[in-house]
Amino acid sequence: MALRNIVKEGDSVLRKKCRPVVKFDDRLAGILDDMRDTMYQAQGVGLAAPQVGILRRMVVIDCSMDKTEYIELINPEIIATEGEQEGTEGCLSVPGVVGWVKRPMKVTVRAQDRFGEFFEVTGEELLARAFCHELAHLDGELFIDVMEYEVEPEDEEDEE
């Protein structure tokens, strides 16, 4: 597979609304594989298609430290949320910026897999945060649009 270039803030592609995926084929599988490899190479926990210049509704996520909880979401939509959490977020497309963001504590997403089959998945804490963060990319939104304030690196270390 190939590593893709990650689009940075300022590129208009990050502010566009993505179109649904309608063709589930080998080309789609290749793009998803590239996105996964790119996310892991960049040491991210998620990557949305517009972050690699593709205006389609698909994201890849893996919040685990050992890369064992990989999830692909195609045409995802949030169907339920519960609770609230606050914490820091960063983004591969906004390097060097960390912000304080409120997100739901628990999020359920309905999506399709790479073969077009529908499924639902529920995530809590970091995974819930990743669902919200990555799905927002599909509508042209960045975490900096909803962050309450920017967190300086030394402030982030104090929280740990």
What residues act catalytically?
Answer: 134
CB 76 within 8 A of CB 108: no
Question: Residue 108: which of 76, 137, 84 has the closest Cα?
Answer: 76
DSSP per position, 38-80: HHHHTT-SEEEGGGGT--BSEEEE---TTS---EEEEEEEEEE
The length of the chain is 160
